[in-house]
Amino acid sequence: MPRNTDNRRRVFADVVSIDAWHASFDSGKAVVDLHADVMFGTARLGGEPESPITFRLAVKRAELVVVVPETEPVKVDPASVAREIRITKGKKVETFQRTEGRKLKAGLGLNLSKKGVNTEAKGEARAHREQTTVQKWDLSTPVQQFKIHHSKTDTGDYRWIITFYNDAGLEGSPWDAAKEPRLKLIDTRNGGNKSIEPTVRLEVRCRAEDLAISDLCDKDETRWNLLSRASGFKTRMAAATAYVRNKLIEEGLHVTSIEDRFGELTIANITAEARRP
């Protein structure tokens, strides 16, 4: 199996990780399924000694884009593209508990007379004990999770726009990669040597405004106290966005302008692996 030495999976791996594969064409197949396994989460960043801040990073909206270079001897079967607009659903389960208690009386009447003790007395000495009843029940509520919409980019590449049900940071996987391929690839080579597989690239993109930066902390406690005002928050946010920009550039990923809320970022980049039986 070939190794993906050019895959860009190190940066923000906890924010998004991606794996992609298709069956090898050299096994005699002319048409193969392209699978993409995408997993989203939240990263804790800034742990390096040189970073002045720490923060958490997630993404609220992302696009999975399949890029087939014009020079590659392969094309997409349009009829095979997963085009459905779908909303995956799950359940939110809340557990409730109610405790009820009551006191029970145990009384013994004593009547002291010259003849001794009369248990049918008027005077009473009482002991108390509690009886507790605990009730538990679960309330299951259907909720929307991922929203997935298919479209094409301005360069004609197939893409899937992924958002979450409550505009929160994406968490988990939007589809079952093994069972739900994104599309089929058609080998356009006529005979000849097929030992060199066509190259198909997958990218995860977002806009600058889709980044969910939270829990910003300055490592210098003195500065943290000074920067705790509104102006300090802006300073820490600027430092966090600069951190994200610099790390993406270091890994050779595409960044237009992270300061522009509509600036486009590529946060993951991978070449699909050709897998042999």
Using alpha carbons only, how large is the chain's radius of gyration in Å?
Answer: 31
Nearest to 70 by CA among 229, 168, 188: 188
Domain map of the chain by residue range?
A: 16-87+150-275
**Sequence-separated (6 or more) residues with CB below 8 Å from residue 229:** none
* Between residues 214 and 137, the one the model is more confident about: 214
pLDDT of residue 110 exceeding 80, the answer is no
Average pLDDT over residues 10-31: 87
Rounded Cα distance, 239 and 185, in Å: 42
Roughly how many angstroms between the first and final C-alpha of the chain, as a whole number? Answer: 10
Backbone torsions φ then ψ of 174, nearest 5 degrees: -80, -15
55: confidence class by pLDDT, cuts 50, 70, 90: confident
What is residue 96's predicted lDDT score, i.e. its pLDDT? 67
Is-contact 236 218, C-beta < 8 A? yes
What is residue 144's predicted lDDT score, i.e. its pLDDT? 56
Structure tokens at 261: 């809320």
Rounded Cα distance, 152 and 143, in Å: 28
* Between residues 33 and 235, the one the model is more confident about: 33
Structure tokens at 59: 């993404």
Average pLDDT over residues 218-226: 60
Structure tokens at 126: 């009482």
16: confidence class by pLDDT, cuts 50, 70, 90: very high
What is residue 216's predicted lDDT score, i.e. its pLDDT? 80
Q: Buried b vs exposed e over 42-76: b needs ≥16 C-beta within 10 Å?
A: bbebbeeeeeebbbbbbbbbbbbbbbbeeeebbeb
Q: Which of 70-74, 136-140, 207-211 has the lowest mean pLDDT?
A: 136-140
CA dihedral 59, 158, 20, 269 (to 10 degrees): -50
Rounded Cα distance, 159 and 150, in Å: 6
CA distances from 17 to 87, 92, 183, 208, 275 (A): 21, 25, 20, 18, 19
pLDDT digits (tens, 9 = 90+) for 148-206: 999 999 999 999 999 987 777 899 999 999 999 999 999 998 876 677 889 999 999 99
Q: Which of 36-40, 89-93, 102-106, 210-214 has the lowest mean pLDDT?
A: 102-106
Average pLDDT over residues 118-123: 46
**Sequence-separated (6 or more) residues with CB below 8 Å from residue 158:** 65, 66, 76, 81, 150, 152, 182, 183
* Between residues 251 and 79, the one the model is more confident about: 79
- Whole-number percent of the chain with pLDDT over 90: 39
What is residue 167's predicted lDDT score, i.e. its pLDDT? 73
Average pLDDT over residues 111-126: 47
Average pLDDT over residues 67-93: 84
